[in-house]
């Protein structure tokens, strides 16, 4: 399953700090974005680092348990809907982003997510997917 592959890959990446390329560094917002191409998966992975003024537990709950409320605090999201709870630590969601006039049409992503916590570390691994039982929304770029 894609969620399991993403989680295993995330744990591998967490232990390996070599080969990350700086994509963007916004010191005014204290946000750093790195990327790394993973040959064995044929994927480019992004790592975003930022300081946020919120406890790890609250962030965890917002990102995992309250995912459908994401649009209330993330201005880029039009809607987030949990489509299926696969098991206690895996689900399938659809994220629909707002249009950015003149730059980007509204976009929708079908995602499988898997989460866990261990030794005070919270892990959320997400991978895009396609599935015939979850058709594309009308008039939205996939």
Phi-psi region of 132 (alpha: psi -120 to 50; beta: other; left: phi over 0): alpha
Kindly state whether residue 141 falls inside one of the protein's structural domains: no
- Model confidence pTM above 0.85: no
Whole-number pLDDT of residue 120: 74
CATH code for the domain of 84: 3.30.530.20
Total domains present in the chain: 1
Helix (H) or strand (E) holding 48: strand 43-50
More reliable by pLDDT, 136 or 53: 53
Structure tokens at 120: 């005070």
Is the pLDDT at 30 greater than 80? The verdict is yes
- Range of the structural domain that residue 47 is part of: 2-128
Kindly state whether residue 70 falls inside one of the protein's structural domains: yes
Pair 104, 95: CB distance under 8 Å? no
């Amino acid at each position: 399953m894609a969620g399991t592959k993403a989680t295993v890959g995330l744990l591998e990446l967490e232990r390996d700090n070599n080969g990350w390329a700086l994509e963007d560094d916004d010191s005014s917002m204290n946000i750093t974005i790195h990327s790394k191409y993973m040959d064995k998966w044929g994927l480019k992975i992004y790592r975003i680092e930022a300081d946020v003024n919120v406890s790890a537990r609250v962030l965890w709950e917002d990102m995992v348990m309250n995912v459908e409320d994401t649009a209330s605090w993330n201005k880029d999201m039009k809607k987030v809907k949990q489509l299926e709870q696969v098991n206690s630590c895996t689900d399938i969601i659809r994220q629909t982003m707002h249009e950015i006039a003149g730059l980007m049409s509204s976009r929708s992503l079908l995602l499988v997510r898997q989460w866990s916590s261990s030794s005070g570390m919270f892990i959320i691994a997400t991978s895009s997917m396609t599935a015939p039982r979850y058709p594309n929304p009308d008039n939205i770029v996939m």
